Chain A
Amino acid sequence: MDEYKGKTLSWRLADGVVELGLNLAPANEIGFAMLEDLERFASSLPTLESKASALIVYSEQKAGFSAGADLRELYEQARKMDSPSAAKGVREFLERIHAVLNRLDTSSLTTIAAVHGVCFGGGFELALACDLIVADKMARFCFPELRLGLIPGFGGIPRLKRDIGNAVVRDLLLTGRSINATKALSVGLVSQVAAEGEALRLARSTAAQTTKFDRTTAAAAKRFIKPLPAEELRREIDIFCELFARPAVMDGLRKFVENAGPHPYLP
C-alpha cells in the first residue's frame, strides 16, 4: 500500500520517500488504536521497501512527536482485570509493539524521526527505533517511567544504550528528567537540530540525500552498524512485566490519571 489513512496515522510514498505522519490528539499517545495502525504499517513495509529509499516518521500534532504510551488506557484496562490477567495483557501489548519497532529498526530503508515538542516514553522509544533523529529546537526528550515505578517498555533502554554513552542513559533513566534538543545533540542522540517548526523540512532534505545512494549498499551499511539488541529487548519485556505486577504501579497510574491540575504529576 503506497498510501494509507488510518485513525491514528497516515503514510504516503512519493519520490522514493515514505512519510509516516502520526496524528492522534492530543499528543499521539500509543495505545491499542495506534498499535493497530503501526502494525498495518509494518506489514506494508516489504512493499514500501521495494519502492523507496527512506522513511520519515513525524507528528501532525502540535504538542509534539508523541507523549508515549497511553497510560489512561493502560490504567482503565488493567483495573478491570485481576492482577494475572492484567500482567498477561501488558505482556501481549509489549510483544506486539516490540515486533513493530523491531521491524522498523531493521528496515532496509534509511529511517528518520522528525521530532518537535514532547518526545516522551514510548514516543521517544519509537524515535529511537529510527536511524536518525532530527529535532527542532523546541523538542524535549524524556523517559519518565521510573516516576510510575516502571522502566521504559518499548525497547528504549537497549536502543538508547546502543546509541549513546551509558552515563547519559543512566542520567535520563534514573532521574526521569527531560532534555532539550541542544543537549540531545551534544550527547549524540540527535543528529541535527532545526529551527522551530523546521524539523520535517530538514528531515525531507536528509531523506532526499539518501535517495541518491545504492539501496543494497545502504542496507548493508545499516545491518553492519545498527545491530538489533535482541536479547536485551527480550529481557526488558520480562523486567517491565515483573515491575508492573506490583500494586505500587497501579497506584502510581491511578494518581497520574486522576491528576486534573495544571501541574504535572511528578512523584
Chain B
Amino acid sequence: MKTIEQTTDEILNLAATHFKFPRAELQAGDDFYKKLGIDSLQALELLTRLENHFGVELPDYEVQGVSNFHTLAERIQARL
C-alpha cells in the first residue's frame, strides 16, 4: 500500500514529465490549473494519465472542484 506522500510524489512526477514543467517547482498544495497553466481538456488528459498510471477509476464527480495535487492524491489513495 502506497502512502499518501508516495502517491502525491508520483502525481507530481507524472505532471512534471507530461507538461514539461520543472519537478522541483511543483508542490503538493499547488493549484494545478494555475501552476501548469492547463485548461479543462488538459485536466481531463491528466485524469486519464493518472487512471492509467495507478490503475484506478476516477469518476469526474469525485474530482470535480479538486484543483490541488494533494487532494487529488487523497482521491486516488481512496481507490488504491
Question: A interface vs B, CB < 8 Å?
Answer: 27, 63-64, 117-118, 137-138, 140, 142, 175-180, 182-183, 262-264, 266
Q: Are A175 and B40 in contact (CB under 8 A)?
A: no
Kindly identify, within residues 50 to 68 of chain B, every residue whose CB is under 8 Å from any CB belonging to chain A: 51-52, 57, 59-61, 64-65, 67
Of chain A, the residue at the smallest CB distance from B59 is: A177
Give the dominant DSSP class at B's interface. helix
Whole-angstrom distance from the CB of A98 to the nearest CB of chain B? 28
Please report which residues of chain B, range 37-58, place their CB below 8 angstroms from some CB of chain A when the two chains form the complex: 38-41, 43-45, 48-49, 51-52, 57
Contacts of A64 in B (CB 8 A): 41
Contact present for A118 and B59 (CB under 8 Å): no
Determine if B33 is an interface residue (Cβ-Cβ < 8 Å): yes
**Residues on the B chain within 8 Å of A140, using CB:** 44, 48
Query: B60 contacts A177, CB within 8 Å?
Result: yes
Give how many A-B residue pairs fall within 8 Å (CB-CB): 49
Contact of A138 among B38, B40, B48, B59 (CB under 8 A): B48
Can you list 29 A-B contacts with CB-CB less than 8 angstroms, sorted by A residue number?
Answer: A63-B41, A64-B41, A117-B41, A118-B41, A118-B44, A137-B52, A138-B45, A138-B48, A138-B49, A175-B59, A175-B61, A176-B60, A177-B59, A177-B60, A177-B61, A178-B60, A182-B51, A182-B52, A183-B57, A262-B38, A262-B40, A262-B43, A263-B33, A263-B40, A263-B43, A263-B67, A264-B43, A266-B60, A266-B61
Across the A-B interface, give the 7 residue pairs with the lowest CB-CB distance, nearest first.
A264-B40, A177-B59, A262-B33, A177-B60, A262-B39, A180-B48, A180-B51
Asked if B41 and A27 make an inter-chain contact with CB atoms under 8 angstroms apart, the answer reads yes
Residue with the highest number of chain A CB atoms closer than 10 Å, among B39, B41, B67: B41
Cβ contacts under 8 Å, B33 to chain A: 262-263
Report how far A182 CA is from B50 CA in the complex, Å: 13
A266 in complex: contacting residue of B39, B49, B64, CB < 8 Å: B64
What residue of chain B has the Cβ atom nearest to residue A26's Cβ?
A: B41
Min CB gap B25→A, angstroms: 19
With both chains docked as a complex, state the minimum distance between the C-beta of A179 and any C-beta of chain B, in angstroms.
7
A25–chain B nearest beta-carbon distance, Å: 12
What's the minimum C-beta distance from A147 to chain B, rounded to whole angstroms? 10
A180 contacts which chain B residues (CB < 8 A)?
A: 48, 51-52, 57
Which B residues touch A179, using CB under 8 A? 57
Chain B residues with CB under 8 A of A262:
33, 38-40, 43
